[in-house]
Amino acid sequence: MSYTPPNSFTNGTVLTSAALEGNSEALRVYLHNGIIASDVENTPWIQTRHIQPPSYDAFTGVQHGVSGHQGGQWAGGVNVRLTFCSKYTTGGGRAATSIFERLSNSSFQIEVRQPNSIILYHYWYEAELGPDYSTGGGQVSTEEDRLVWIGPHLGSLDLVAGALASLQEAQNLQDAWNGVYPIGAVKSMPYTGGYASRDGTLLDFRPNIGTNTYGLIYHSQIDRAAVVNWGVAIEVYYL
């Protein structure tokens, strides 16, 4: 049914903020989600063509509509998209460095078209880390203490703005390479600490419209870590 103000006002009576805000809130609810079938059918000035079809970006898997964004992407079934971390792009494993790099394939760049928007960026991944028992100078000396940090980031310039606290660690495989055939890790990953299954959600509030980037970043002290399965998803709600 059409909007009906819940409160009316009379001269000479106290004007309360509750009554004023009550009308505004009811209007906000109606405009956002109070439209029923008869509003459209009885007065057919809203036609199907006026309902905005969401724009869909096949590359990022995200659609954008009037009320916000939603969508996601993942490693994929037969078309598995492995991604990786490496110490060689974040300081060579030196303990003193704090360099971050993007985790390939995990980012969204979205255009937020309403102020005061709420963004939730969800992520999960499985990774197999190391073994890295290299002896280069400056590295964390105890091999099992070498870590990879993976976490969410926002923004396009500062890779770690606002998200350092959400970095999650995973540990180097606690056995070195097998010296004889078959070459590989001496023990399988889940038994020796070199396997990580992590997930999390970043919540961000955007007071202004604009283009924003959400994705995963990493800092690695391990030479190679394969992110063998992963998925990211985004929800954006315009208030």
Partner 1 sequence: MSRIIRPAVQDGEAIDGPDLNTRFSDYTQTDLNAFNHRNAAYDLPQFERPGASLYGFLGKYQNSITLGKDDWKHTSSVTVSGTATSPPAAPYVVGDGVSPTVMNFGVAGQTVAANDVLRVYWDLSVYPHWIGSRPWATSDVNLISNGGGGSVAIGTNGSCWAFWLQWDVTSNALTNFVNVPDQGSFDSNLTGSIYGSALSDTMATSVVPAYIDRGNPSAGTLPHTPVQVAVGWRGISGAWYYPRTSGSQTIYGMRLVFTGVLLPYYNAGTSSNALVHDTAWADDARMSYNGGKLNAFIQRIG
CB count, 10 Å around CB of 85?
28
10 binds partner 1 (CB under 8 A): yes
Contact stretch for partner 1 (CB under 8 A) within 26-34, 80-88, 101-109, 209-217 = 26-34
- State which of residues 37, 157, 180, 183 lies at the interface with partner 1 (CB under 8 A): 37
Task: Tell me the β-bridge partners of 42.
Answer: none
- Structure tokens given for 212: 């924003």
- State which of residues 110, 170, 225, 227 lies at the interface with partner 1 (CB under 8 A): 170
Per-residue DSSP letter, 183: P
Q: Could you give the CA distance from residue 235 to residue 208 in angstroms, rounded to a whole number?
A: 17
CB 96 within 8 A of CB 103: no
The SS3 of residue 185 is strand
Show the binding pattern over residues 205-224: x = contacts partner 1 (CB under 8 A), - = does not. x-------------------
31 binds partner 1 (CB under 8 A): yes
Question: 6: exposed, middle or buried (C-beta count within 10 Å: 0-12, 13-18, 19+)?
Answer: exposed
Q: Minimum distance between the CB of residue 144 and partner 1, rounded to whole angstroms?
A: 6
Q: Could you give the CA distance from residue 216 to residue 167 in angstroms, rounded to a whole number?
A: 9
- State which of residues 99, 164, 209, 228 lies at the interface with partner 1 (CB under 8 A): 164
Place of tokens 């049914």: 1
- With respect to partner 1, which residue has the nearer C-beta, 31 or 80? 31
Quick one: CA dihedral 159, 161, 167, 172, positive or negative? positive
149 binds partner 1 (CB under 8 A): yes
Q: Could you give the CA distance from residue 222 to residue 194 in angstroms, rounded to a whole number?
A: 11
In the region spanning residues 44 to 103, those forming contacts with partner 1, defined by CB under 8 A, are: 45-46, 50-52, 54, 65-68, 98
- With respect to partner 1, which residue has the nearer C-beta, 12 or 77? 12
In the region spanning residues 106 to 135, those forming contacts with partner 1, defined by CB under 8 A, are: 117-118, 120
Task: List contacts with partner 1 (CB under 8 A).
Answer: 2-3, 5, 8-13, 15, 20, 23, 27, 30-37, 39, 43, 45-46, 50-52, 54, 65-68, 98, 117-118, 120, 144-145, 147, 149-151, 164-171, 174, 187, 191-193, 196, 198-205, 237-239
